[in-house]
């Protein structure tokens, strides 16, 4: 697995180094070119970086690697969001309802408070 990518160049490329180069190039390109990143700028620049380092398999392997990277990042985002929703389920329900969640104890406390005139002693 060390030499998963067999480049056309003389220097062997390790997968982690290839992904680091691809991600760095994609990020630099996305920050320099004023185009929204949702329209494939990261994928296109990542494919270009993979082709520049000489990935074996050519364009199809580079496109496949970037699409797999995109799918895995979306899945990771969804899993993390689901875990956060499970951990903070009360807060999530309150946010969906538009207000803080009231428990039975809160309702009893608000009904048992003395009126303002009784509290002041008049």
**Model confidence over 57-104: pLDDT tens digits?**
888 888 888 888 888 888 999 999 999 999 998 888 888 887 655 666
pLDDT of residue 77: 92
Question: In the structure, what pLDDT confidence band is assigned to residue 2 with cuts at 50, 70 and 90?
Answer: very low
Q: What ranges do the domains of the chain cover?
A: 15-77
Q: What is the tens place of the pLDDT at every residue in 67-79? A: 888 888 889 999 9
Of 18, 15, 22, the residue nearest 1 (C-alpha): 15
- Rounded to two decimals, the pTM is 0.54
pLDDT of residue 120: 59
């Amino acid at each position: 697995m060390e030499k998963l990518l067999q480049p056309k160049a003389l220097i062997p490329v390790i997968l982690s180094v290839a992904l680091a180069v691809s991600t760095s190039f994609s990020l630099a390109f996305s920050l320099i070119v004023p185009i929204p990143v949702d329209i494939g700028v990261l994928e296109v620049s990542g494919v270009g970086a993979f082709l520049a380092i000489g990935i074996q398999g050519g364009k199809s392997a580079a496109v496949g690697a970037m699409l797999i990277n995109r799918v895995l990042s979306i899945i990771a985002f969804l899993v993390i969001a689901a875990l956060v929703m499970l951990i903070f389920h009360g807060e999530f329900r309150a946010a969906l309802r538009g207000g803080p969640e009231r428990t039975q104890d809160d309702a009893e406390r608000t009904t048992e408070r003395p009126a303002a005139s009784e509290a002041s002693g008049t």
